[in-house]
Amino acid sequence: MNPVAAAAPGSAPALQGVFSAVRSQTAFEETLDRLATAIKLGLLEPGARLPAERELCARLGISRSTLRQALTALVQSGHLRAVRGRGGGTFVVPRPPPADPPTAEVLAGWREVCDVRLATELGVVVLAAERADRGALAALDPLVGEMSSVLEDFPAYRRADVRLHIGLAECTGSARLVTAMTEVQGAMGDLIAHIAHPAQVLASSNAQHARLLAAVAAGDAVRATRVATEHLRGTEHVLGGLLPNAGAP
């Protein structure tokens, strides 16, 4: 299965960023980081088959040996599985491995991650309210219903959540903002993997999603930024309360 075809509506531009050319100086590390982040965010969905090595090398602008090193590392880490023979290939595992305990560096920088997310997402909702195509916005509405139906299944909720936020970035028409949103969602994922996700909290967050989409669809940037700020600050408060030692100096 081609990961672009397997992804939900609105995710293709984000995958274009994943599979764009990498810098030669850090080709292995950047390839590893991009693919791992795409897997964690669900941009490469569980069970998705990666493109053939020749295609990946051409799109990433790297050598086959560099690609194979990155793929081998991701197989060894439990993010990918390699299948030999007819119908074989490299596939995303059905369930990615559990996150490692948060490091002191992650804990020390969690507020800065939230700050970067706030700046990125507020800029996105302002531009989306001004520029968004109504059809593109309408394609995001089903994600709210999808999240409502999986409040007890956080990995499924999170995949839809990521698609919604990246989808809003796509509505701005800015490839750089799509990349920035993908990066900030990856950084947030590294944090929220270490906290509990009560269904009540997810339901409240998803109600904010619905209000946010309504404000953007109405072209009301002021209301959209107000709802987005409430949404993002809510996540920050949850992290502050549940992330281990987050309040420590």
Tens place of pLDDT per residue across the chain (249 aa): 344 334 443 456 666 667 666 765 578 878 887 888 788 888 888 899 999 999 989 988 889 998 998 899 888 888 899 998 777 899 999 887 776 666 777 777 899 999 999 999 999 999 999 999 989 999 999 999 999 999 999 989 999 999 999 999 999 999 999 999 999 999 998 888 888 888 988 999 999 999 999 999 999 999 999 999 999 998 988 888 777 765 544
Q: What domains, with CATH codes, occur in the chain?
A: 3-92 (1.10.10.10), 104-242 (1.20.120.530)
At 82 the three-state DSSP class reads: strand
Q: How far is the C-alpha of 18 from the C-alpha of 12, rounded, in Å? A: 10
Tell me the DSSP string of 94-135.
Answer: SSPPPPPPPPHHHHHTHHHHHHHHHHHHHHHHHHHHHH--HH
Tell me the DSSP string of 127-162.
Answer: HHHHH--HHHHHTTHHHHHHHHTTTT-HHHHHHHHH
At 49, phi and psi to the nearest 5? -95, 130
Q: How far is the C-alpha of 233 from the C-alpha of 30, rounded, in Å? A: 30
Contacts of 111 by beta carbon, 8 Å cutoff, 6+ apart: 236
At 80 the three-state DSSP class reads: strand
Q: How far is the C-alpha of 93 from the C-alpha of 40, rounded, in Å? A: 11
pLDDT of 177 = 95
Asked if residues 121 and 174 have their Cβ atoms less than 8 Å apart, the reply is no
At 39, phi and psi to the nearest 5? -70, -45
- Would you mind telling me the total number of residues written for the chain in this entry? 249
Q: Which residues pair with residue 89 across a beta bridge?
A: 83
Q: What burial class does residue 10 get, using C-beta atoms within 10 Å of its C-beta: 0-12 exposed, 13-18 middle, 19+ buried?
A: buried
Q: How far is the C-alpha of 89 from the C-alpha of 85, rounded, in Å? A: 8
pLDDT of 1 = 39
Asked if residues 21 and 69 have their Cβ atoms less than 8 Å apart, the reply is no
pLDDT of 38 = 84
pLDDT of 166 = 95
Q: How far is the C-alpha of 40 from the C-alpha of 154, rounded, in Å? A: 13
Q: Model-level pTM?
A: 0.72
pLDDT of 36 = 81
pLDDT of 167 = 96
